[in-house]
């Protein structure tokens, strides 16, 4: 995908992400678990990457570097966050 199109779609999905208030859900999770990494950045990047360039979790992590900002977390943080998303699936769905 061209860089300009990628940027456009990234901005559209970013607006939807914040309209769904997923950042607030991530704040609740952060307060509950006291993460050392930015769980909101991880969730938003996973969502954008999986929509824009569907691939494995590892490939999604690499694809994030093509977005506006490089990730502020490591790959092992993504796997830890995915465990929390699995445990808190009911909360996340209820918040939507």
Using the predicted structure, report yes or no on whether residue 1 has a pLDDT greater than 80: no
pLDDT mean over 66-82: 84
- The pTM assigned to this predicted structure is 0.81
Q: Residue 91 is encoded by which pair of tokens?
A: 């909360």
Q: For the chain, give the mean pLDDT.
A: 86
Task: Tell me the DSSP string of the chain.
Answer: --HHHHHHHHHHHHHHHHHTTHHHHHHHHHHHH--SS-HHHHHHHHHHHHHHS---HHHHHHHGGGSSS--SS-HHHHHHHHHHHHHTHHHHHHH-
Per-residue confidence at 82, pLDDT binned at 50, 70, 90? Answer: very high
Please state, in angstroms and rounded to a whole number, the distance separating the CA atoms of residues 83 and 64. Answer: 20
Tens digits of residue pLDDT in 9-63: 878 889 999 999 999 999 999 999 998 899 999 999 888 888 877 777 677 777 7
């Amino acid at each position: 995908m061209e860089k300009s199109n990628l940027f456009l779609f990234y901005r559209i999905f970013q607006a939807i992400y914040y309209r769904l208030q997923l950042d607030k859900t991530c704040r609740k999770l952060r307060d509950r678990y006291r993460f050392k990494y930015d769980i909101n950045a991880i969730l938003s990047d996973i969502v954008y990457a999986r929509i824009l360039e569907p691939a494995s979790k590892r490939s999604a992590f690499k694809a994030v570097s093509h977005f506006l900002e490089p990730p502020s977390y490591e790959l092992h943080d993504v796997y830890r966050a995915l465990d929390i998303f699995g445990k808190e699936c009911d909360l996340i769905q209820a918040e939507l």
